[in-house]
Amino acid sequence: LQAGIIDKQIIALTHQMADAAGEIQLRYFLKSVEVETKADLSPVTLADREVESTLRAMIEAHYPEHGIIGEEFGSVREDAALKWVLDPIDGTQAFIAGIPTFTSLIALTHNGIPIMGMIDQPCSKERWLGIAGENTTLSGNKIHTRPCDSLANATIGTTAMKYFTPEQAEIFEALKNACGNVLFGGDAYLYAGLASGKIDLVVEAGLKPYDYCALRPVVEGAGGIMTDWQGNALKLGSDGRVIAAANAALHAQAMKFLAPSSPKSLLRF
């Protein structure tokens, strides 16, 4: 279906964008950064802005007809079928605290559906690439989610409890208590780790399109499933509550906690 869209040129550009993002991130990461406080208190840095404007310029130069949605500078050409979705620094908290789990997230969506996603970490030089219908790679090598068929054996991750509303936190607590192991922190790394077969479940809320669009192709191309809390496949316009699971059996078990009484709790694409 979308095989024709993601061609060599698009993949090459995406790699170049991640290279450029990493170079800028590292330049700022190795020294202290000025912190600005947004209304929602998430720290934003000069690096954030420099990365996003650089990536936007690269897209404009190669695909001036494509739309762009970015964390820092909003949207252009919102009616384009192909739209890039950019998070110049995912994990800005970690970035500012000197912890190398920040990443750049680059996604391409087709009619709102994420069909390519890249997660890049410049310190460890780890780069995940997911393309709809293809096997996800980590730095060029194919990776797969690991077999894990029960919550009791599962490691569940979430970045921080503070991103949940009180009602969501209650739901997450119940699910977490059914899981064998829980991991806090990590941002996009949690989803990358799930794709690499090291984490089994990730459940979060309050995510924006630039937070989750790049993740879905990476997770699904490695054999996982990524939906909202109703079981709907993630796309532009999803409500920001997400679940990623290593496989369908685990997803189904977790959905009993996320949407226990909803007739919509069936997995649908």
- Interface residues toward a second copy, by CB under 8 A: 32, 41, 43, 93-94, 96-101, 121, 123-126, 146, 155, 157, 160, 162, 181-186, 189-190, 192-193, 196-199
Q: Which position has the token pair 């009180």?
A: 166
- Residue 112 or 185: which CB sits closer to a second copy? 185
Nearer to a second copy, 161 or 266 (CB): 161
Count of CB atoms situated within 10 Å of the CB of 24: 23
Report the nearest approach of a second copy to the CB of residue 61 (Å). Answer: 31
Smallest gap from residue 228 Cβ to a second copy (A): 23
Q: Closer CB to a second copy, residue 9 or residue 139?
A: 139
- Least distance to a second copy, CB of residue 94, Å: 8
Specify whether the backbone of 156 is left (phi greater than 0), alpha (psi in -120 to 50) or beta: beta
- Closest to a second copy by CB, 11 vs 182, is 182
Q: How far is the CB of 246 from a second copy (least distance, A)?
A: 12
Q: 165-171 long-range contacts, Cβ below 8 Å, gap at least 24?
A: 165/205, 168/205, 168/241, 171/257, 171/258
| Amino acid code (one letter) for 54 | T
Contact 149, 182 (CB under 8 A): no
- Reported as type and span, the H/E element at residue 185 is none
CB of 231 closer than 8 Å to CB of 253: no
- Nearest Cα to Cα of residue 109 among 8, 230, 217: 217
With respect to a second copy, which residue has the nearer C-beta, 179 or 236?
Answer: 179
**Least distance in angstroms from the C-beta of 34 to a second copy:** 12
Decide whether 126 or 134 has the Cβ nearer to a second copy.
Answer: 126
Q: Supply the minimum distance, in Å, between the C-beta of residue 75 and a second copy.
A: 29
**Element (DSSP H or E) covering residue 142:** strand 141-142
- Give the span between the Cα atoms of 157 and 163, in whole angstroms: 13
Q: Residue 230 in contact with residue 172, Cβ under 8 Å?
A: no
